[in-house]
Amino acid sequence: MAGFKEDNSFRPENPVTREQFISMIIEGMGTVTKINLEEIPPGSSSFNDVDATRWSSKKIQWARANGIVAGKANGEFRPGDPITRAELMAILKQAHLPENSAKTSPRFSPN
């Protein structure tokens, strides 16, 4: 695990944001299967509050395209919000579903 880019600090007392958690999940999945953030299925939309220039935008869009996150009912993801325990568990569950595994999904290929 790396520290924050600005000063390489760890900040264990800070809450984890939704985008930070998605980043951790995608990075973790990438250790067991190849993930290409450039391969977003056609017709996949991004969230209206995640600008394409945001550091986490490709990971968030990839997670949405692969059924790991759905966002809020109003079309927002709210990347800077602290993640709740319920959201954390829902994301972990979706990332672990068989259709999101290297064995059954063409979107993943073994390293």
In a 3-state reduction of DSSP, which class is residue 96?
helix
Q: Is the dihedral of CA 111, 36, 50, 3 positive or negative?
A: positive
At 10 the pLDDT is 84
Write down the residue that tokens 């079309």 correspond to. 75
pLDDT digits (tens, 9 = 90+) for 17-71: 999 999 999 999 888 888 888 887 776 778 999 998 999 999 999 999 989 999 9
In a 3-state reduction of DSSP, which class is residue 82?
strand
Q: In 10 A of CB 103, how many CB atoms?
A: 9
Whether the per-residue pLDDT at 101 is higher than 60: the answer is no
At 108 the pLDDT is 46
Whether the per-residue pLDDT at 81 is higher than 70: the answer is yes
The residues pairing with 82 across neighbouring beta strands, listed in sequence order, are 17
Q: What does pTM read for this prediction?
A: 0.79
